[in-house]
Amino acid sequence: RTVIKDNGPFPAPLALNVVPWAGSPKEDGYSSEELKVRDESRKILGISDLKVSATCVRVPVLTTHSLAVHAVFDLEVSRKDAQDLLSNAAGVRLVDDPESHQFPTPADVVGTDPTWVGRVRKSLDNPKALDLFICGDNLRKGAALNTAQIAELVARELSAPLG
């Protein structure tokens, strides 16, 4: 904190740093952004009681959102099955070869539409869990692309023959 005097709008310097806080204070030490991750995940997936715990961290990148995900399922799932499913999912780009240093980073995804996924691996402690890393350009997918896709859907619906 002594090197960089001006934090700007952040609670701590962001340059050459990460700040484990985003949003405004809410109950039990959570931030509004962390609760938003839980609420939006439940809404998007249609699972009202989905268990989600997030820690939002500001990092010095211009754009993109990234998630380190630990997902627990009802049944055991293999890494290969998860990779196959993800590689065939619409709007997803699987980049998952850590041995060759191939995995998504915020720098890779800027200006692209898909959600990038990598570092897919089975949890060492739970055979029904997977760990993975996800990146997406939030300015494209979170705003502009979603708006365009909704407009295209509405246009198709309005131009479809009745009956």
Residues 77 and 134 placed together within one structural domain of the fold: yes
The token pair that represents 65 in the structure block: 């959102």
The percentage of the chain sitting over the pLDDT mark of 90, rounded to a whole number, equals 58
For the stretch 80-108, pLDDT in tens is 999 999 999 988 999 999 999 999 999 99
Residues 114 and 86 placed together within one structural domain of the fold: yes
pLDDT at 30: 96
The residue ranking higher by pLDDT, 148 or 32, is 32
Rounded to whole angstroms, the Cα distance separating 78 from 24 reads: 38
Residues 55 and 69 placed together within one structural domain of the fold: no
Residues 111 and 136 placed together within one structural domain of the fold: yes
Residues 97 and 151 placed together within one structural domain of the fold: yes
Q: In whole angstroms, how large is the CA radius of gyration of the chain?
A: 19
DSSP 147: H
Q: Which residues of 45-69 are buried (b: 16+ CB within 10 A; e: fewer)?
A: eeeeeeeeebebebeeeeebbbeee
Residues 29 and 40 placed together within one structural domain of the fold: yes
Number of domain units in the chain:
2
Average pLDDT over residues 46-73: 91
SS3 of 105-127: CHHHHCCCCCEEEEEEEECCCCC
Domain containing residue 11? 1-60
pLDDT at 103: 97
Residues 75 and 132 placed together within one structural domain of the fold: yes
pLDDT at 143: 59
Rounded to whole angstroms, the Cα distance separating 53 from 102 reads: 27
Residues 91 and 149 placed together within one structural domain of the fold: yes
Average pLDDT over residues 124-142: 90
